[in-house]
Amino acid sequence: MSTLTLLASGDEFTPPGLELFNSQPIIPGVDWFTKPVLLALLSSLIVVAFCWSAFANPKLVPRGVQNVAEMGYMFVRDQVARPFLGKDADRWMGLLLSIFFMVWIWNVMGVVPVLQFPVAAHIAFPIVLALSIYVLKIYLGVKHQGAIGYFKNMMFPPGLPKPIYVLLAPIELLSNMIIAPFTHAVRLFANMFAGHIILAFFSLVGFWFLFEKLTPLGAPLGVVGVIMTIAMTGFEMFIQFLQAFLFAMLAAMYIGNSLHAEH
């Protein structure tokens, strides 16, 4: 029995809360193997299978899966990679395309019937992905600019009066080394967490007032709940795509800043 069904089966309406994110082990005794982990693994398999079927044996005239994959490739190349990486865009397309599709599939899991849980709504997954980009950013910055040059270019942008650096340098260091990776992860997590709560709330309103509390006043509220569930599902799907785009775009921006100090 699902969490929403349990909430809706009482005598009083109980709005959904953090219990939606409490996942029990799928295999007894294997505490780490929970629903979010299973969906994350499934998402990885979907991305690998999709890219393999599209690009393992590409045709000169794309059709089917290859056609869809090439549309996704061109979108990431033109809207994510080239604006921040310029001539280096093609070199990083594999990583950026994988990030975009992975995060998108993570998010879409929240509206897939039966599964209905966005992987990114579990804070551990956005944190690990954001930290991976963070480590890569620092590595590339030190490699291409040198350790001293990387932090100098970060903290002391040229063309400003020297007294301003007293305030600007620590702010830039804090922003780039702490705030940037934190917001990179939390932005994705917070949007998926809130969206999942909102969808669960309206779904529960529709279910409870139509099936558990069927009254002259309750029936219209239940219908409103169903309509809002449908409308918010469409809006949430747009947010899921948008957050995947923003996460990949920020990754491209961080890589670009490390490769080229002038950016």
Report in angstroms the alpha-carbon separations of 59 from 53, 65, 117. Answer: 11, 11, 36
Could you read off the pLDDT tens digit of each residue along the chain, which spans 263 residues? 455 555 555 557 677 778 888 888 888 888 889 999 999 999 999 999 999 998 888 887 777 889 999 999 999 999 999 999 999 999 999 999 999 999 999 999 999 998 899 999 999 999 999 999 999 999 999 999 999 999 998 888 888 888 888 889 999 999 999 999 999 999 999 999 999 999 999 998 888 777 766 666 677 888 888 999 999 999 999 999 999 999 999 999 999 999 987 54
Six token digits for residue 220: 């219209």
Structure tokens at 160: 């400003």
> Whose structure tokens read 């944190």?
127
Q: How far apart are CA 92 and CA 173, in angstroms?
A: 26
Per-residue pLDDT reduced to its tens digit, 85-140? 999 999 999 999 999 999 999 999 999 998 899 999 999 999 999 999 999 999 99
- The whole-model pTM stands at 0.89
Quote the CA–CA distance of 91 and 143 in Å, as a whole number.
Answer: 16
Distance CA 157, CA 177 (A): 16
